[in-house]
A and B are shown apart, each in its own frame.
Chain A
């Protein structure tokens, strides 16, 4: 067996105590999150601290955050595939896996946040005994369609380039793994015809998934901007959310790659060159993000419309100001200094910036959702919000779940696409 295959298959074999030491506690956190959700289902959504007028809070923040993270895979993978950027090769699968898992997690939040979560399927359009078709004028229906399309599309996008690798693994694996790999390989033999078909399918999917990704986050933004609430009703939200999503997605990808590199000893494959390129992308998105943020806030401030200024004031000077300014520091100043100055740009500073960007982007969604709701048009209805232990537990649990899913994926499949490094031999006819 050659070096590439030996290095990239090594993580799939055996289970070290360190792997379990990470996996088991995190699984416990996931379980705790499920218990918290069960408690919420049993007692009522009131165990979350949402109240009138802040009808949406942590769950919607988490929803937008995770859908945003899912844009990691799309950008890196689809754009870099389409532009034939060669450096992408060791990065794509790690990114595509983030997309699928982040979507699975993000897609849970619209259900978790429902008052009657057990009838979430009433939103699905199918002939039913209620003789009622869902209301396609509602942005929530657009959401349902966009996210399910994106989940299916990105799963295919992850799966297609996995086929040659699982076919190869099926030849060497033993026991149940062999059975799994064989099923997933779909009878791949590695013939020229199959390679051409795969190539064509990947090109096509890269184009489709790009369009879907942009539309998904635009639709998520429209959940807010279609409403007439002050500072939500804004034309900038579509592109602003797409930029924010790609921004946080790249940060998540840099973090995931840093962890993979360290724990799986793949320093040869994920080189400083890759981190440098991704760090530059992160810097670019940071600049775009600050441009949109200034555009949004400057126009509101200059326009000086009273209802909007109430929200603007709450964001920048009032109750929510600490979060707002932390967001600006995390999303702009830290990456701008650490990555903008070439001498400072390194794997370490890329990791630090990614962490602050993830914090900042989570805060950004909080800043967009909660201040607007707490300052409705009629001052008599003003309110406040702070999360309950249930909301915090479920939020923390989703982060743990992400790592658990990712670790399990990395145990089952090579996290770096092997065949893109070194083409496999043909599977002998049998």
Chain B
């Protein structure tokens, strides 16, 4: 498309052997990104919004059972299936390789969500709601999404922007920052010295559903038996 090549290429590594499934990342994401809090009826319908969720996989037979937790968030695919299907460019690849969602452009066809193999896209079925007094703790750096638009994990793009403007060097998305097991690592895949680049080269590293050719920028580390 002719744009200049960006110096950054943001990525994430998640060590599944460290993840305890504590859901701190989910809570942190809610607070950071002004995610609406669904009422019980809407949640029962399957309309709860969690930009990051912890999927559970069970291995073995009872009583020798092992639970594996896998935090699933937008994989920021290089070949994102959600992008070409949007008729209004509401979702597209930004110069830093992030798959971004432009709320103001979104008309709400929901095609992107149908075409996401990771099911990490969430729709605003109504205007968002927060039970008192949560509406007082909104993050001023993150816009509130109106009824009828799609949303998803942004890799906390507001923090990335702020770090770029203010030159901070401890850039972390909310989920990574709050992980007590330090299972999540965020960084620049263009920098071969960064921890995330090295973890991505680790022999335990895999990409989720990589057989689909989506080229995710999230790497999962897990011991393979």
Residues in chain A within 8 A of chain B (CB atoms)? 43-46, 49-53, 55-56, 110, 113-117, 119-120, 122-123, 130, 132, 134-135, 137-141, 144, 223, 226-229, 373, 376-378, 380-381, 383-384
Chain B CB within 10 Å, residue with most, of A134, A141, A380:
A380
User: Which residue on chain B has the smallest CB distance to residue A111?
Assistant: B107
Question: How many CB-defined contacts (below 8 Å) exist between A and B?
Answer: 134
Q: Could you list some 23 contacts between A and B, CB below 8 A?
A: A43-B126, A50-B125, A51-B45, A52-B119, A53-B113, A53-B114, A53-B119, A56-B110, A114-B107, A114-B148, A115-B124, A116-B107, A116-B108, A116-B147, A120-B107, A122-B107, A135-B88, A140-B109, A229-B115, A377-B117, A377-B209, A378-B119, A381-B119
Distance of A366 from chain B, by nearest CB (Å): 15
Which chain B residues in 90-131 approach chain A with CB under 8 Å? 105-111, 113-115, 117-119, 121-127
User: Which residue on chain A has the smallest CB distance to residue B53?
Assistant: A380
Distance of B83 from chain A, by nearest CB (Å): 8
Chain B residues near A122: list those with CB within 8 A.
88, 105, 107
> In this assembly, does B86 line the interface, its C-beta being within 8 Å of a C-beta of chain A?
yes
Question: Which bracket fits the contact residues of B?
Answer: 35 or more
Chain A CB within 10 Å, residue with most, of B42, B84, B85, B146:
B85
Q: How far is the CA of A226 from the CA of B87 in the complex (A)?
A: 14
Q: Judge whether B105 and A378 touch: CB under 8 Å.
A: no
Q: Judge whether B124 and A227 touch: CB under 8 Å.
A: no
A51-B47, A114-B109, A132-B105 given; A123·B87 CB < 8 A: yes
Distance of B190 from chain A, by nearest CB (Å): 27
Query: Residue B106 contacts which of A116, A144, A223, A229 (CB distance < 8 angstroms)?
Result: A116
Q: Judge whether B105 and A140 touch: CB under 8 Å.
A: no
Q: How far is the CA of A56 from the CA of B46 in the complex (A)?
A: 14
Chain A residues near B147: list those with CB within 8 A.
44-46, 115-116
Chain B residues near A137: list those with CB within 8 A.
84-85
Residues in chain B within 8 A of chain A (CB atoms)? 42, 45-47, 53, 55-56, 72, 81, 84-89, 105-111, 113-115, 117-119, 121-127, 146-150, 209, 212
Distance of A51 from chain B, by nearest CB (Å): 4
Chain A residues near B149: list those with CB within 8 A.
115-116
Distance of B29 from chain A, by nearest CB (Å): 16
Q: Judge whether B85 and A115 touch: CB under 8 Å.
A: no
A51-B47, A55-B114 given; A114·B108 CB < 8 A: yes
Chain B residues near A380: list those with CB within 8 A.
53, 55-56, 72, 119
Q: Judge whether B148 and A378 touch: CB under 8 Å.
A: no
Chain B residues near A134: list those with CB within 8 A.
87-89
Chain B CB within 10 Å, residue with most, of A51, A113, A117, A130:
A51
Q: How far is the CA of A141 from the CA of B89 in the complex (A)?
A: 11
Distance of B94 from chain A, by nearest CB (Å): 15
Q: Judge whether B125 and A55 touch: CB under 8 Å.
A: no
Query: Residue B81 contacts which of A49, A116, A228 (CB distance < 8 angstroms)?
Result: A228
